[in-house]
Amino acid sequence: MTTRILDAYFRRILDIGGFAPVDSSLNGLQVDNDGAEIRKIAFAVDATLESFQRAADAGAGLLFVHHGLFWGKPLGVEGVHRGRIKFLLDHNLALYGVHLPLDQHPALGNNAALAALLGIETPEPFGEYHGRKIGYKGKLAKSLTIEEAVKRISFKDRPPLGVYPFGKKENQSCAVISGGAAHEALQAIDEEVDLYVTGEAAHEIYHQALEGRLNMIAGGHYSTEVWGVRRVMENCAAELNIEVEFIDAPTGL
């Protein structure tokens, strides 16, 4: 495997080109290697020095992340940013980032995985973001309490950031958007969804959810976004027959 081959593979399975007009992230290969063959791929949620060090220690030649290093604006190669890039170059470690295409993907994405964990039947697109819907909603195969929903989506049983039981005791429908999508709770209220699951809460949304009788779980930005990365990892292992490893580096946020 080379970075060129892997880039073509990721672009085939994820709609990277389709999100170019709306995603400020530099989706795709963010830092290349020197052309060396890649025998192992590491996967992590965030592009940080910790994840780089652990990927290098594991013998990975490429690190696939959800949150990369580049977000629309040019950054000076200085400070923490310089240190991260220097480590990648010094260790010949390639970096590949996929943001919104990984949130939205109907099979491999964060939101598809959350929908499956919660038992959403026939998921429909939900959550308008710059003209694209990146989340999913639908009826639940079996009614869930908010406590049961928390257990299903808690990666390694880590507690959520917040649980807001403002609606029904038994939820019949649910909408999900991973990460920082607190304000999309308003769309959940408008569409009369019982339960809304996202990563982060927001102060100004609290009373909106309370008055709209919406149950809401803020599962954590990190914890709601391990799922897509892990699904891509499993897909790579199965289709490419390459060694893979997940790097778990939770922030608690």
Residues annotated in the binding site for a divalent metal cation, as ranges?
A: 66-67, 103, 221, 225
Select from 204, 127, 119, 201 the least CA-distant residue to 164.
Answer: 201
Annotated binding-site positions: 66-67, 103, 221, 225
Sign of CA dihedral 29, 63, 240, 222: negative
How far is the C-alpha of 94 from the C-alpha of 60, rounded, in Å?
Answer: 9
How far is the C-alpha of 17 from the C-alpha of 20, rounded, in Å?
Answer: 5
User: Could you tell me the CA-to-CA distances from 52 to 57, 140, 153, 210, 223 in Å, in that order?
Assistant: 9, 39, 27, 41, 19
Within 10 Å of residue 225's Cβ, how many Cβ atoms?
28
Give the DSSP letter string of 127-168: EEETTEEEEEEEEEEEEE-HHHHHHHH-GGGPPPSEEEE-S-
CB-side neighbour CA atoms (13 Å) of 157? 0
Kind of pairing between the strands at 171-176 and 132-144: antiparallel
Q: What residue type is assigned to position 211 of the chain?
A: E
